[in-house]
Amino acid sequence: MENTASPKVRFTVSALRPETITALLVLLATVLMMLIMKALNPTFGSLEQIAAILTTSIFLVVASYGQGLVILLGGIDLSIGVVMSIGGMIIAGLTNGSNQALVWAIPVTVLSCIAIGLVNGLGVAFLKVPPFIMTLAVATAAFGVALGLTAGSSQRTVAPALQQLMSARISGIPIPILLIGCFLIGGSLLQSRTAEGRKLYAIGSNLAAARIVGLPIEALTVAAYGMSGLCASVAGMLLAGYSSGATLDMGDPYLMPSIAAVVIGGASVTGGKGNYLGTFAGAVFLSALSTIITVLSLSQGWRNIIQGGIIVIALTLQTKQWYLQKMANRRLTGQGSPNRALSQNSKV
Amino acid sequence: MVMSMKQASREKGRPLPSSLFAAILYVVMFVIYSINAPSAITLGGITDLLNNTIVLAIASAGLTLIILAAELDLSSVGVIAVSNVLVATVSTKMPAGTIGSLLLVCLVGLLVGLVNGWLVAFLGLQSLACTLGTMIMCQGIALVILDAPGGEVAAFIMNRLTDTVFGMIPVAGLILAMVVLAWLLFRRTRFGIAIYAVGTDAVASHLTGIDVKGTKLRVFALAGVAYGLAGYLLSAQTGTGDPRVSNSFLLYVFAAVAIGGTSLGGGRGGVIGSVIGAAILTVMQKLLFAVGVADFYTNIFSGLIMVVAILFGNLSAILTLHQRMPLTRHGDHGYSAQ
């Protein structure tokens, strides 16, 4: 571990990239949190409860994937909550308790939500409106349209098939958990192993360089926001299936956690850093946290205080871990100027 | 070299401030509003409008400082909620409740700001995420202090701060004028200039000898005090305490800053723009109500106006670019990032 950086040591460092370590640590923290809970309250922690925690994490796991792609570009998507609600409302409104309607209702729902995402992307990419404002404005407007169309009242029942999807099991494992697994693998591959995914990293870490290289920045930006709309619509449909109905504000509680999940997972809000395993870990962590806190018999105020505090502590640990990793890398490779360290620390 | 060209452009004459365009937009909207609601140009109407503007304006003024230093802060709604419930619970019970609760909320804001600043500047956390944490904690604290809407705000705060002085000047207008004046003096101080420098390039600022961490810490502290003040004024408007300040208010605070021409990337913009941005967002809602737009269309128009306001600001950037130096982009107060 001294200055004699043998190839073997280098290999171990590169095999466990800092992003992966962050993700594993966050997952470890989640397990630790559950164990502490188990120690405090022995009735907690049955297999059923853990399955329930994982099942309810699917909404955040799916929604934060889109958020992660957008943040990877250095943007932000504030429309996720509204799009989730709209996705749920459309699927509930169109199917209205019938399974036959699903065949065309799902494409309609997904396409409408992608359209909202594309509007976001077009505004950001071509009109150069800051993502913060563009997505907020589109969310506000889309909410208005949804409110107008539904008159704020209709709460129909979702197709039973969608409800069964959220509650059924295949050989003892709840389907949502299997879906999470598939989504994690598919999402990770798309983000980290495809050319288009790597281009997002390139754009996010250095826009000017990406432009010089000739990457299709506008097209990829629009695509990332479109993906975010897609993920939010899927999350919304699953949420509607889980709660067997939809309301216009059911997605709102997921907006801020979707950002927090991405950041806890090791991404930088300025873009170019982070992977989906991290975001996934962040999403599971936050979902588990909010479920566990509900188990505690505390008032809402104290639950909020604990939840906020744990988010801050998680971030602190994560940052410390990055710092240690950086130090280790510098010692091993002799690279990494103090200036870079400073700029990374203070520019974020 | 870029530096010297910037210097030159400043000496020739400052580029058009983007807040000017926001101001034009405001005037246009206000004129349309007053045509549709003639009571708008009476003293009562103006007082009312200013009263509705001021909470958003003060909160976005605080956020502006943080954004100028290239950080983000979500804790505003948390601090506003805490100070609102504090004023509603203590202002009638403690002696000298008006001043006492004012000091208390400023102290609370300062404390939260210092925590945020310490986490961001000294522990190196990402400001967006860690202020999300402190925001949730503050909302929790507000709920612990007052678990349901209620409480009572001292009558003096409620009546005097929403009224006029000498029967002609709205108090809210006076407070806004004081904020603007304070900003005009503040931005020329060492600390004020350091905020722009840190927001433009933290590494360069550090190398020039600016205390980057200290500047950020103080910026968060100052913004925290502004949020506390905003919460105090909110209590004066509503007269009661409500532990749940909606998250949509938070988004409006950000929108006000952006519409005012402050770049969300830091280093460009100013408080005056944000105050105008807050005024635009407030008059927008009044205008849509006065015109008689149905409730759900209000949202659609709000979204549209936000985007138009931003594009309007971009227009100023383009015009400035063509008129002045090709190398500098628009900037409110000359310290433009290239």
Give this complex's ipTM.
0.79
The whole-number pLDDT of residue B15 equals 58
Domain segments of chain B: what residues? 15-323
Cβ–Cβ pairs < 8 A, chains A and B = 177
* Residues of chain A where predicted confidence (pLDDT) is lower than 70: 1-16, 152-155, 321-348
The whole-number pLDDT of residue B316 equals 63
Contact criterion met (CB below 8 Å) for B54 and B311: no
Cα–Cα dist B120/B300, whole Å? 36
The whole-number pLDDT of residue A15 equals 54
From the list A130, A145, A147, the residue facing B310 with the nearest CB is A130
Q: Find the helix packing angle between A255-264 and A300-333, rounded to 10°.
A: 30
With residue B313 as reference, give the H or E element that holds it. helix B295-323
- Tell me if chain A has a CB within 8 Å of the CB of B315: no
Cα–Cα dist A71/A77, whole Å? 8
The whole-number pLDDT of residue B317 equals 63
Cα–Cα dist B247/B138, whole Å? 13
Cα–Cα dist A327/A319, whole Å? 12
What distance in Å separates residue B138's CA from the closest CA in chain A?
A: 7
Q: Residue-wise pLDDT tens for chain B (338 aa)?
A: 444 444 444 444 455 666 788 888 889 989 989 888 888 778 888 888 898 899 999 999 999 999 999 999 999 999 999 999 999 988 877 777 788 889 999 999 999 999 999 999 998 888 888 898 999 999 999 999 988 888 888 877 777 777 777 777 888 899 999 999 999 999 899 999 999 999 999 999 999 999 999 999 999 999 999 999 999 999 988 888 888 877 678 888 988 998 888 887 788 888 999 999 999 989 988 888 888 777 777 788 878 887 887 787 667 666 665 554 444 444 444 333 33
- In 3D space, the residue among B15, B25, B17 whose CA is nearest the CA of residue B312 turns out to be B25
The whole-number pLDDT of residue A16 equals 65
Backbone phi, psi, residue B218, to 5°: -70, -35
Contact criterion met (CB below 8 Å) for B141 and A305: yes
Cβ-defined contacts of B157-161 (< 8 Å, 24+): B157/B87, B157/B91, B157/B97, B157/B98, B157/B101, B157/B232, B157/B235, B157/B236, B158/B235, B158/B236, B158/B239, B161/B233, B161/B236
- In 3D space, the residue among A133, A259, A124, A74 whose CA is nearest the CA of residue B257 turns out to be A133
Backbone phi, psi, residue A173, to 5°: -100, 125
Q: Which two tokens stand for residue B291?
A: 């015109």
How do residues A114-152 score in pLDDT, each as one tens digit? 999 999 999 999 988 889 889 989 998 999 888 888 876
Flag if A308 and B136 touch (Cβ within 8 Å). yes
Cα–Cα dist A320/A22, whole Å? 10
Backbone phi, psi, residue B179, to 5°: -60, -45
Contact criterion met (CB below 8 Å) for B134 and B114: no
By C-alpha distance, the chain A residue nearest B303 is A137
Contacts of A264 in chain B (CB under 8 A): 129
User: What's the CATH architecture for B15-323?
Assistant: Orthogonal Bundle (1.10)
- In 3D space, the residue among B237, B172, B185, B180 whose CA is nearest the CA of residue B64 turns out to be B180
Cα–Cα dist B155/B88, whole Å? 11
What distance in Å separates residue A249's CA from the closest CA in chain B?
A: 12
- Tell me if chain A has a CB within 8 Å of the CB of B122: no
Cα–Cα dist B245/B243, whole Å? 6
What distance in Å separates residue B263's CA from the closest CA in chain A?
A: 9
Which residues, including other chains, have CB under 8 Å from residue B127's CB and lie 6 or more apart? Answer: A348, B66, B71, B72, B73, B116, B120
Q: Which two tokens stand for residue B142?
A: 């507000």
Interface of B with A in 9-68 (CB under 8 A): none
With residue B55 as reference, give the H or E element that holds it. helix B43-68
Distance of CA A111 to the CA centre of its chain: 20
- In 3D space, the residue among A315, A314, A264 whose CA is nearest the CA of residue A33 turns out to be A314
The whole-number pLDDT of residue B321 equals 58
Q: Look-up: residue for tokens 């604990």?
A: A306
CA triplet B245, B302, B62: central angle to 5 degrees? 45
The whole-number pLDDT of residue A332 equals 62
Domain segments of chain A: what residues? 15-322
Q: What would the 3-class secondary structure string for chain A be?
A: CCCCCCHHHHHHHHHCCHHHHHHHHHHHHHHHHHHHHHHHCCCCCCHHHHHHHHHHHHHHHHHHHHHHHHHHCCCCCCCHHHHHHHHHHHHHHHHCCCCCCHHHHHHHHHHHHHHHHHHHHHHHHCCCCCHHHHHHHHHHHHHHHHHHHHCCCCCCECCHHHHHHHHCEECCEEHHHHHHHHHHHHHHHHHHHCHHHHHHHHHHHCHHHHHHHCCCHHHHHHHHHHHHHHHHHHHHHHHHHHCCECCCCCCHHHHHHHHHHHHHCCCCCCCCCCCHHHHHHHHHHHHHHHHHHHHCCCCHHHHHHHHHHHHHHHHHHHHHHHHHHHHHHHHHHCCCCHHHHHHHHHHC
Q: Which two tokens stand for residue B86?
A: 């504090």
Number of residues that this document lists for chain B: 338
Flag if A144 and B72 touch (Cβ within 8 Å). no
Flag if A136 and B132 touch (Cβ within 8 Å). no
What distance in Å separates residue B111's CA from the closest CA in chain A?
A: 15
The hierarchical CATH code for the domain A15-322 is 1.10.3470
3-state secondary structure of B23: helix
Q: Which residues pair with A157 in a beta bridge?
A: A245
The whole-number pLDDT of residue A244 equals 81
Which residues, including other chains, have CB under 8 Å from residue B249's CB and lie 6 or more apart? Answer: B56, B77, B80
By C-alpha distance, the chain B residue nearest A299 is B144
Cα–Cα dist A279/A267, whole Å? 8
